[in-house]
Amino acid sequence: MKLDLKMLGEEAKRKIRGAKNERDLDGLRVEFLGRKKGKITLFLKNIRNLPPEDKPRQGQLVNRLKKEIGERILERKEALKKGEPGEYIDITLPGKKPPLGRLHPITQTLEEIKRIFIGLGFCVVRGPEIETEYYNFEALNMPQYHPARDEQDSFYLEDGRLLRTQTSPVQIRIMEKTSPPIRIIAPGRCYRRDAIDASHFPMFHQVEGLAVDRDITFSHLKGSLTCFVYQMFGKGTKLRFRPSFFPFTEPSAEVDISCIICKGSGCNVCSQKGWLEILGAGMVDPEVFKKVNYDPEKYQGFAFGMGVERICMLKYGIDDIRLFFQNDLRFLRQF
Ligand code: DAH
């Protein structure tokens, strides 16, 4: 009751402030103070239905408001006569919330990956998306008829260059113009001529990592990636280094993490295996060092490459890569 009266008072005052002429004000007098149906008058009439102990207090409140509104109407009439503007901006009204944008989940994941590796002392570098065959393949120990080149069906330009199929060529570009020690990550877009399905898209993102120094060992690789996985997926996550092959690393490994859904006991997401593959890695092949004139007897290095879409899908339980590129706000708003 008290609250209703307060709100009614606010409403009346707001309308009075907004009145543009005398006629508006006469209308407001009837609306609020009219003898029969005035909104405040009705409050006054209702007092007789209240319990006797409430009557005096309520009567006082309503009468006070009645008097105040009457005065305000008169004041506003005077102000209008003096030519004060009828328009009124009520700065006490709650504002409209402008819709806020947000970062795309891929961008958010990239930012998180960068943050973690920067914390480990890595610098963020970039390379071109249009590459030569030399940087994309040859310098990475994949000569022209190397079988691994078939695996990656590429988009070629007329001049023989191509859209990079991986971020690994940035390793070469950095080593060519820097001498060790090197600790870099290279995030960016990659392109492959893949048919689109739930796990393939012709454009995707990778983050490449490279560390070169004297006495770098596989343990440094394991330590860095373990630190990354703990921060990205939580400290209880297990890692498994599975022997594998990449032309530019020897030895090479594919790194699995214990399934973040079932914690390793087997479920649909991990195809009952308990493990999820998240990246490729290894020790930089001496052949790659020779291409950039590093002495493989002096320097060692580790490298890794991960798919950002894949990391993001695993982290948030997203089962279709196409969702990232459809710009459906119902999907994007969840991040
Ligand atoms: N470039 C590889 C790919 O696209 C990923 C990769 C594997 C990068 C091992 C590396 C590495 O640097 O050491 O599949």
Closest CA to 182 of 103, 113, 249, 121: 121
Q: How far apart are CA 141 and CA 290, in angstroms?
A: 10
Q: Which residues are annotated as a binding site?
A: 250
Q: How far apart are CA 334 and CA 69, in angstroms?
A: 48
Return all residues near 70 (Cβ < 8 A) that are at least 6 apart.
Answer: 29, 33
pLDDT in tens, 61-113: 999 999 999 999 999 998 888 877 655 677 888 888 888 899 999 999 999 99
Per-residue pLDDT band at 2 (split at 50, 70, 90): low
User: What was the pLDDT predicted at 256?
Assistant: 95
Which atom number of ligand 1 is nearest to the Cα of residue 165? 4
Quick one: DSSP state of residue 302?
A: E
Quick one: DSSP state of residue 322?
A: G
The b/e string for 138-161 (b: 16+ C-beta within 10 A; e otherwise) is: bbbbbeeeeeebeebebeeeeeeb
Q: How far apart are CA 63 and CA 61, in angstroms?
A: 6
Sign of CA dihedral 49, 54, 60, 65: negative
- Region 43-60: mean pLDDT is 89
Q: Which amino acid would we find at residue 68?
A: E
Half-sphere exposure of 111 (CA within 13 A, CB side): 6
Q: How far apart are CA 248 and CA 238, in angstroms?
A: 26
Quick one: DSSP state of residue 293?
A: T
Q: 38 near 30, Cβ under 8 Å?
A: yes
Which atom number of ligand 1 is nearest to the Cα of residue 190? 4
Q: Where are the domains of the chain?
A: 2-81, 105-332
53-62's contacts with Cβ under 8 Å and 24+ in sequence apart are 58/1, 61/2, 61/5, 62/5
Which atom number of ligand 1 is nearest to the Cα of residue 248? 13
User: Has domain 105-332 been given CATH number 3.50.30.30?
Assistant: no
Nearest CA to ligand 1 atom 7: 280
Q: Which residues are annotated as a binding site for Mg(2+)?
A: 250
Determine whether the shortest distance from the Cβ of 247 to ligand 1 is under 6 A: no
Determine whether the shortest distance from the Cβ of 303 to ligand 1 is under 6 A: yes
pLDDT in tens, 170-197: 999 999 999 999 999 999 999 999 899 9
Closest CA to 108 of 260, 325, 335: 335
Q: How far apart are CA 58 and CA 47, in angstroms?
A: 7
User: What was the pLDDT predicted at 151?
Assistant: 55
Determine whether the shortest distance from the Cβ of 168 to ligand 1 is under 6 A: yes
228, 304, 309, 311, best to mutate for ligand 1 pocket (most atoms within 8 Å of CB): 304
pLDDT exceeds cutoff 90 at 263: no
pLDDT in tens, 106-164: 999 999 999 999 999 999 999 999 999 999 999 999 988 887 676 558 999 999 899 99
Determine whether the shortest distance from the Cβ of 280 to ligand 1 is under 6 A: yes
Q: How far apart are CA 46 and CA 54, in angstroms?
A: 12
